[in-house]
Amino acid sequence: MPTIEQIAAALQGYDPKALPASSVNEFLAQLVEPVTTTEKVGVFAALGRVLAEDVVSPISVPPHDNSAMDGFAFDGALLRPGQPLILQLAEGTAFAGKAWAGALAQGQCVKIMTGAIMPTGLDTVVPLEFVKQDGHQITLPADILQRGDNRRFMGEDLMAGQPALRQGQTLGPAALGLIASLGLPQVRVFRRIKVAYFSTGDEILSLGEAPREGTVFDSNRYTVFGLLTRMGVEVLDMGVVKDEPAALEAAFRQAAREADAIITSGGVSMGEADHTKAMMKQLGDVAFWRIAMRPGRPMAVGRIVVPHAPPLRGSLPPEGAEPGLGRPGAGLAETGKSALLFGLPGNPVAVMVTFLAFVRPALQRLMGSTASEPVLLQAHSAEALRKKPGRTEYQRGIVTREADGRLSVRTTGNQGSGVLRSMVEANGLIVLHHDQGHVAMGDTVDVMVFDGVI
Ligand code: AMP
Ligand code: MG
């Protein structure tokens, strides 16, 4: 596992005081190692999970050539351009789920239902509504069909032996259906990751607490909870942690022991006089950055290390008995277990933006997902936007479709990083890239659409 120092040394032009947003993702890709433990789960339970191995199709889907319509199956070689076709109807009907067992003479057709196996030698289906039937005689008008029409090929969806799904794919509704269509009751997925989160800051109130002067209610835990839950990870809510060394140490230690990753908010700004940064530094291998972005800027990233518990009659320490607590720098040997740390800024919008831009892709990697970054849409800016080159800006935007079909985007107005309301009004983020300058009205800009993520 590379250290912060090793990753930093390998990164071109690494400057923790002015890190471009793209370097943050590069850095995190080096820091995060995907989980390796896997488990087999049933198809229903696989929703949102990440596939741990390719799913190779044991069967062909569909397993036979079959009819795509209710109609009459016949030999398409009999079709002649410009001429109607007269066919004699054979006895019986080919139903879905039951093979038609009759024998056919030249020029005969068979009544067939959607999904029924194509009788041997027949390759074309004329829909019921296209023909004239007179007793056992069927007449097809000229030039309405081509050979092979309305026939689905065996293996058209999937051929036996071919990979139907790839390792690293997050399983959505379509994938569940596909797995079931292969007759597979279970699939192997990566274990679910667990993410602990807490808010820091003495001015932060939990719900239910009586407001005092200078306090604000904690909103970050709720947005982080929502963002994590939408990703399908297991969450561990650790509340608001007071800006006291003992409380912070206990929280970080518990989180590192129980979770794969820790997300905190607040207390990482440069001028911050609190203990959060100091405790991160003490308990782990952590970098403190000023990112060239807006909103966001300060962020701490690294690992919090779990120390070895002193032997307790050969058993694990009881719940709550935290070794090292209150003994900062006790120099305990490491267990090898650590949790990733994402120390996000405190501002509610900055939390969401840094989560979307950096934490989400990093957690996806941790989950074993090979998902690529979300596709950015292009929209015409409905207003001029001020932008300084040399930093990435994420403005809250409302994307709409114009009468002419083009996408247009306007901002939600006040872009203050504390204005959470604007995040609710927005349906995407306008991404103004690092080197980009001012945007004129009508210019094309990139937009990250929330689409189920928020
Ligand atoms: P900080 O990064 O700790 O300097 O916090 C920046 C701003 O975000 C301050 O105005 C904080 O009051 C506010 N803030 C920090 N944590 C939270 C939180 N959990 N919920 C809402 N606002 C917060
Ligand atoms: Mg603070």
Judge whether 330 lies within some domain: yes
Pair (270, 399) in one structural domain: no
- Local confidence band at 296 (pLDDT 50, 70, 90 cut-offs): confident
| Contact 201 CB / ligand 1 (< 6 Å) | yes
The C-alpha atoms of residue 77 and residue 62 are separated, in whole angstroms, by 24
Please give the distance of CA 126 from its chain centroid, rounded to a whole number. Answer: 43
Nearest ligand to the CA of 202 is 2
**Atom 3, ligand 1: residue with shortest CA distance:** 266
The whole-chain average pLDDT of the chain stands at: 92
Q: How many A from CA of 393 to the centre of ligand 2?
A: 22
* Statement to judge: residues 226 and 323 lie in one domain: yes
Q: Given ligand 1 and candidates 200, 204, 243, which is best to mutate, with the most ligand atoms within 8 Å of its CB?
A: 204
Residue 115 lies in a domain: yes
Record the tokens describing residue 431, joined without a space. 């991404």
Averaged pLDDT for residues 67-81 = 97
Q: Which of 95, 123, 152 is the last residue of a domain?
A: 152
Q: Is residue 52 part of a domain?
A: no
Distance CA(359)–CA(35), nearest Å, equals: 16
CA distance 279 to 260: 18
Confidence of residue 335 (pLDDT cuts 50, 70, 90): low
Residue 322: band (very low, low, confident or very high) from pLDDT cuts 50, 70, 90: very low
**CATH number (domain holding residue 356):** 3.40.980.10
Indicate if 205 and 332 belong to the same structural domain: yes
Shared domain for 362 and 285, answered yes or no, is yes
Residues 361 and 219 placed together within one structural domain of the fold: yes
**pTM check: above 0.75:** yes
Q: Report the residue among 207, 223, 347, 421 best suited for mutation to probe ligand 1: largest number of ligand atoms under 8 A from its CB.
A: 347
- Is residue 48 one of the residues assigned to a domain? no
| Residue owning the nearest CA to atom 14 of ligand 1 | 346
**Are 92 and 212 part of one and the same domain?**
no
Q: What range does the domain containing 72 cover?
A: 66-152
| Domain closes at, from 366, 396, 431 | 366
Number of domains forming the structure of the chain: 3
- Do 232 and 303 lie in one domain? The reply is yes
Could you tell me the distance, in angstroms and rounded to a whole number, from the CA of residue 451 to the centre of ligand 1? 26
Asked if residue 417 has its Cβ within 6 Å of ligand 1, the reply is: no
Tokens 């002015």 locate to 18
Give tens-digit pLDDT for 89-110.
999 999 998 889 888 999 999 9
Q: pLDDT tens, 367-425? A: 999 998 888 999 999 999 999 999 999 999 999 999 999 999 999 988 887 789 999 99
User: 112: buried, middle or exposed (CB in 10 Å: 19+, 13-18, 0-12)?
Assistant: buried
The more confident residue out of 372 and 15 is: 15
Dump pLDDT digits (tens) for 112-162.
Answer: 999 999 999 999 999 999 999 999 999 999 999 999 999 999 999 899 999
Pair 339, 409: CB distance under 8 Å: no
Both ends of the chain: CA-CA distance in Å? 32
Task: Give the pLDDT mean for 211-227.
Answer: 96
* CB of 397 sitting under 6 A from ligand 1: no
User: Do 224 and 341 lie in a common domain?
Assistant: yes
* Pair 133, 8 in one domain: no
Counting ligands in written order, which one lies closest to the CA of residue 274? 2
CATH code at position 399: 2.40.340.10
What is the spatial distance between Cα 293 and Cα 271, in angstroms, rounded to a whole number? 18
215 and 274 together in one domain: yes
3-state secondary structure 318-386: CCCCCCCCCCCCCCCCEEEEEEEEEEECCCHHHHHHHHHHHHHHHHHHHCCCCCCCCCCEEEEECCCEC
Regarding the beta carbon of 345 and ligand 1, being less than 6 Å apart is answered: yes
Q: By CB neighbour count within 10 A (0-12 exposed, 13-18 middle, 19+ buried), where does 44 fall?
A: exposed
Residues 341 and 247 in one domain: yes
With a pLDDT cut of 90, the percent of the chain lying above it is 85
Task: Based on the fold, state whether residues 20 and 81 are members of the same structural domain.
Answer: no
Residue 199 Cβ contacting ligand 1 at under 6 Å:
yes
Q: Which two three-digit tokens encode residue 14?
A: 């690494």
Q: Is the distance from CB of 380 to CB of 335 less than 8 angstroms?
A: no
Q: How far is the CA of 346 from the centre of ligand 1 (A)?
A: 4
